[in-house]
Amino acid sequence: ARIVPFFYTPRGVCYSLLWPLRDLERDEAITVDYIEHVNDPYLRQFYLIPWQPEDFSGLPIEHRFILSETFFQVSLIMFCVMFCLRTVFASIILSLGF
């Protein structure tokens, strides 16, 4: 399933919009990968800290990666997509009279 946070500013309320990626069976559990964008197993363990605490004190502290131009391009695209989605959802909510 995918889940997206949605903040409705006029009322100061935050919702989680969730939609399945495939058909579900009755009583089937729904799971969400909150860090699906992280494919590197080395980095993934750090992103999982909120759900799976680990002790990383034995790991070296130097950086293993360099931010490339692609990183900044993807970040800009994601910002634009999220801004557009927020605008669309806000107009839908307002048109429904909330």
- Smallest CA-to-CA distance from 4 within 95, 89, 67, 65 is with 89
Report yes or no: 7 and 82 within 8 Å, Cβ to Cβ.
no
| Of the candidate ranges 14-23, 41-50, 61-70, the one whose mean pLDDT is the lowest | 61-70
Q: Within 10 A of 8 (CB to CB), how many other CB atoms are there?
A: 14
pLDDT for residue 98 is more than 70: no
Report yes or no: 11 and 28 within 8 Å, Cβ to Cβ.
no
**Average pLDDT of the segment spanning 25-35:** 86
pLDDT for residue 66 is more than 80: no
Three-state DSSP class for 29?
Answer: coil
- Averaged pLDDT of the chain: 83
Work out the percent of the chain whose per-residue pLDDT is above 90. 9
Assigned token pair, 44: 């993934």
Q: What digits encode the pLDDT tens for the residues 33-59?
A: 888 889 999 889 989 998 888 898 888
Report yes or no: 8 and 14 within 8 Å, Cβ to Cβ.
yes
pLDDT for residue 15 is more than 70: yes
The pLDDT of residue 27: 92
Would you state the torsion angle of the CA atoms of residues 8, 9, 14, 15, taken in this order, to the nearest 10 degrees? Answer: 10
The pLDDT of residue 13: 87
